[in-house]
Amino acid sequence: MKRLVAVGVLCLAADGCDDRQAWQAPDPTLARMQTQRRADPYGATRAFSDGKVMRVPPRGSVPVDDDTDAPPPPVTRELLLLGQRRFEATCAVCHGVTGDGDTVVATKMSLRAPPSLLDPDNLARSREELFVYATAGYGLMPGYADMLPRDERWAVVAYVQALQLSRRARLDELPPALRDRVVREAR
């Protein structure tokens, strides 16, 4: 009788467990996730005193905008000035203020120096491609999504393209007033 009771207790205890041994790998299917309890973002809960599932972000946290499908902001003077400020604070230490990659930091990078943004390969890159590099990084360069919000990364891209354009602009292609000003300042 004692043996029957012991077997019964073991069966009841084992009923709450799965049939795998402790040394076996966890269930690799998503079935366990589909049947578990969960809360909907805007739903109610008894887990928190305010009854809300969604929590207020911690004080001082930085929002992350990962709306990558949204179109880039229009290029304006304000966007280019913002891009210049962010480029000079974030990118110029490696790529140089003029984008040529000639910096003290670059001389110390023996494995691979930062490339010139004025090289033909970089001149051929699209706006979207430059944005991906600014967001996710490229080669040894880290991504800057955690340091620069989306619009600021687009501002840097716009500034880099304006910098590239200005570095290869020909004097005879400038409007007459601007051409005269450049000639006067060059003397």
Under 8 Å between Cβ of 122 and 164: yes
Give CA–CA dist 142/136, Å, rounded. 7
Residue ranges per structural domain of the chain: 77-186
Tens digit of pLDDT at every position of the chain (187 positions): 566 555 555 554 544 455 555 556 666 666 666 666 777 777 888 888 998 888 888 888 776 665 656 889 999 999 999 999 999 999 999 999 999 999 999 999 888 899 999 999 999 999 999 999 999 999 889 999 989 999 999 999 999 999 999 888 888 888 899 889 988 988 8
Nearby residues of 153 by Cβ (< 8 Å), 6 or more positions away: 131, 134, 135, 144, 145
Phi, psi of 126 (to 5 degrees): -75, 165
The CATH code of the domain at 77-186 is 1.10.760.10
Under 8 Å between Cβ of 138 and 166: no
Residue recorded with tokens 């210049």 = 84
Phi, psi of 142 (to 5 degrees): -75, 165
Give CA–CA dist 9/180, Å, rounded. 97
